[in-house]
Amino acid sequence: MAYFILKTFVLGPLLRVLFRPWVRGLENIPATGAAILASNHLSFSDSIFLPLMSRRPVVFLAKSEYFTGKGVKGALTRWFFKATGQLPIDRSGGKASEASLNTGLGVLGQGQVLGIYPEGTRSPDGRLYRGRTGIARMVLEAKVPVIPVAMIDTEKVQPIGQKMPRIRRIGIIVGEPLDFSRFDGMEGDRIVLRAVTDEIMYELKQLSGQEYVDAYASSVKEKRARLAR
């Protein structure tokens, strides 16, 4: 109910007026049934604008830090993420990654639309980075279509580190569904997982027009942090 009220009567109308989002290919999101929206990740606001423009609710797996903040700001952030249907996940790797996979499969098992950022974190510089293979495992185990989504100019609205967004127009391009049924039963094959992930990232590159970097965004961020010390 809170999701519906925020989207329809509160945040939705306000954001549409301020940012005038344009969207192409919205008809590619299936009207019913489970599906994965695989998006590039340029800004914190991606998780706001994509569900806003989708006709169906989109459940994102958000990092657990958004649900554990303290004080008034922490409480408001926690309320917002819960109200918009986002689920906390631990992104520290190992068993946490397995738990995230199972959480995502649970969402898909309920016939919902799951939003995933294959890069695993926001791009540090607007380029598109190598995808994590967790999305491929989820796709092959759940046997659901993947719809590639390109967020356009959201990094200009809210660059990393900037708290207040800038008012400017953003765009969303929804690509045609990708079918990986030819790999059924091969979710344990690392080569297949990498091939599926790379195909998804290639589609995102084509839709977004971003320069592709064959490295993990998290590794690039860690390297920059070390150099900045």
Residue 147 pairs with which residues in a beta bridge?
37
pLDDT tens for each residue of 110-147: 999 999 999 989 999 999 999 999 999 999 999 999 99
pLDDT at 64 over 80: no
- Of residues 75 and 184, the one with the higher pLDDT is 184
pLDDT at 108 over 80: yes
The mean pLDDT value of the chain amounts to 89
Asked if residue 114 lies in contact with residue 58, where contact means CB atoms within 8 angstroms, the answer is yes
Whole-model pTM over 0.95 = no
**For 21-61+93-228, CATH number?**
3.40.1130.10
Average pLDDT over residues 164-183: 94
What letter represents residue 121's amino acid?
T
Q: In the prediction, which pLDDT does 83 show?
A: 73
Cα separation, 89 vs 24, in Å, equals 30
Buried/exposed 89-112: b ≥16 CB within 10 Å, e otherwise: bebeeeeebeebbebbbebbeeeb
Q: Is 166 helix (H, G, I), strand (E, B) or coil?
A: coil
Q: In the prediction, which pLDDT does 95 show?
A: 64
pLDDT at 214 over 90: yes
pLDDT at 38 over 70: yes
**Annotated domain spans of the chain:** 21-61+93-228
Average pLDDT over residues 72-93: 73
Q: CA 19, 38, 121: angle at the middle one, nearest 5?
A: 80
- Of residues 62 and 102, the one with the higher pLDDT is 102
Q: In the prediction, which pLDDT does 94 show?
A: 59
pLDDT at 181 over 80: yes
